[in-house]
Amino acid sequence: MYRTSTCGALRASDINSEVVLSGWVHKVRDKGFVVWVDLRDRYGITQLVLDQDRTPDQLLDMAKELGRETVIQVKGQVIERASKNPNIPTGDIEVLVSELQVLNESILPPFTIEDETDGGEDIRMKYRYLDIRRNPVKDNLIFRHKVTMEVRKYLSNHGFIEVETPYLIKSTPEGARDFLVPSRMNAGQFYALPQSPQTFKQLLMVGGMDKYFQIVKCFRDEDLRADRQPEFTQIDCEMAFVEQEDILNAFEGLTKHLLKEIHGVDTGDFPRITFDEAMQKYGNDKPDIRFGMEFGELNSVAQHKEFNVFNAAELVVGIAVPGGAAYTRKEIDKLIDWVKRPQVGAKGMVYVKCNEDGSFKSSVDKFYNQEDLAQWAEVTRAKAGDLICVLSGSANETRAQLSALRMELAERLGLRKPDEFAPLWVIDFPLLELDEETGTYHAMHHPFTSPKPGQLELLDSKPGDVKANAYDLVLNGNEIGGGSIRIHDKEVQATMFKHLGFTSEEAKEQFGFLMDAFQYGAPPHGGIAFGLDRLVSILGGQETIRDFIAFPKNNSGRDVMIDAPANIDEEQLKELHLKLNL
């Protein structure tokens, strides 16, 4: 037997018992006549003690030689510690070693296995199995497990059935490129890895499963942005005989359950705002509402004066920065430089200091008097001591720029508190989105999303105005879930494909199976999918999803530990009927 208990289990109540422990040598402290060894496993650390009086010399010498991360097994007696360590649960005891066996040696690890390690990101990723021995990574994986279990428990208790869907499928358009898998047995043909189980979960509804979920890997070959993974995990869900309201209620329930179970937080009912409102108030369809700084549109009070920059703009919009009136000229100049960075792209920024005495000092005093600026303050809800930052230009761009500034300032002001949770629903998304480059429309969510009732007719005349039965769940400035009520009528689906630029042959070839299924009594249905990696990292109060994935890929989509992707040999290529053309 390798162990009678773990390295995290022993307490004062175990004193005098004989135990066997196995684990890794975390640290050896050699005082000559006495040696302490910290023995570590997933459950914690137990201090082992060997000394001249009570331990045979040979064993003492052996303990002195133990290298870090050696795997050992010891037998001994639990005794009371002379100097207790209140910082660890096993701190009242130590184990007086009577037998010691090395189970496996370890060469010197490339970084220290400590909470605060000396290893940089790259080296830790290459030796991820060593990184996982460290508490911060280990604890994150355990936390992820806990969240996942709560999800399964909640959904299962609410009648959802977990069903697995295949990974080797045909392309499902979710807006990204597919990862493709060549078929050896079908020369020249390829499977696609699912971008999501979207069509399969809809077919499960046609199959009468009624309430489905799956914690499932999805694959999207996108240009990697920071903190995106080419393979990621969704909590994928679908329900039959539902309207949008039913879905929002069901998954608000799940989210509340998680916040309660994991953090003991009661959030109350989630606010709901429309996509248009979100863009207007926050310039963003995933607003962080933990803090105010809502946009104030200033067109009516700032235009038609002498200031031509504003007169020429489609939108003049500002935010009030709490306490910002105290910024020095230099600090404000820096802020202006920040919004002018290419990543943000503003041409400039107008500002107004709202002085404590009720007067205003602005960068455009030449064009605006105190009454004008008082109106700006009213619109942006600025108080004495605030700074109003104003951007102008085309509506979409300016909103995006001001949103970036709002988030940056909130971050700097410490308003994005990781232990505060502010969920909300964003509803009534547009059905279609204009691709500025090609001038064509594509589905904003995906092609299976249904338009709002009565809006189908608008598809021809005003495609950009059609609203969808689509919704996102947003938490602290992140989209954590998104879904829609689906089209379940063959004709409507065909119309939709037509508007997305598919010929009827293409639609049939790619999605014939779904359209066929719709002919056999497809029930009304809808669903949602949560990004599990992101959800877990937000609930864990951290920013990077990589930290919650056991074996993540780096920013170039590589697994640096196993060194993938990798070349394959000629033989394999031939078998797959492939020729490289590099």
**Residues at the annotated binding site for L-aspartate?**
174, 220, 445, 486
Token output for 552? 């993540």
* DSSP string for 158-213: TT-EE----SSB----SSSBPPEEE-SSSTT-EEE--S-SHHHHHHHHHTT--EEE
- 15 contacts 35 by C-beta, under 8 angstroms: no
Contact 427, 275 (CB under 8 A): yes
In the block, residue with structure tokens 């869900």: 237
Alpha-carbon distance 476 to 180, whole Å? 34
Distance in Å, CB of 492 to ligand ASP, minimum = 16
Minimum Å distance from CB 244 to ligand ASP?
A: 12
> 3-class DSSP state for residue 130?
helix
In the complex, the smallest distance separating the C-beta of residue 215 from ligand ASP, rounded to whole angstroms, is 13
Q: In terms of Cα–Cα distance, which of 539, 542, 423 is closest to 145?
A: 539
C-beta of 198: minimal distance to ligand ASP in Å?
4
CA–CA separation, 538 vs 143, rounded Å?
Answer: 12
Cβ–Cβ contacts within 10 Å for residue 344, how many? 18
Shortest Å distance, C-beta 316 to ligand ASP:
35
CB of 196 to ligand ASP, least distance (A): 3
Give the residue among 533, 415, 427, 516 at the shortest CA–CA distance from 471.
Answer: 427
Q: Which is nearer to ligand ASP, 172 or 403 (CB)?
A: 172
Kindly state the smallest distance separating residue 232's Cβ from ligand ASP, in Å.
Answer: 10
Phi and psi, residue 157, nearest 5°: -65, -20
- Tell me how crowded residue 68 is: count the other CB atoms within 10 A of its CB: 16
Mark the binding-site residues for ATP, compressed into ranges: 220-222, 229, 479, 531-534
Is 39 or 528 the residue whose CB approaches ligand ASP more closely? Answer: 528
Q: Cα–Cα distance between 250 and 255 in angstroms, integer?
A: 9
Residues that bind ligand ASP (CB under 6 A): 174, 196, 198, 482-484, 527-529
Three-state SS for 37-92 is: EEEEECCEEEEEEEECCCCCHHHHHHHHCCCCCCEEEEEEEEEECCCCCCCCCCCC
The C-alpha angle with vertex 204 and arms to 199 and 207, in degrees rounded to 5, equals: 130
When the beta carbons of 525 and 546 are compared against ligand ASP, the nearer one is: 525
Q: How far is the CB of 443 from ligand ASP (least distance, A)?
A: 11
Q: How far is the CB of 470 from ligand ASP (least distance, A)?
A: 8
Overall residue count recorded for the chain in this entry: 582
Helix (H, G, I), strand (E, B) or coil at 409: helix
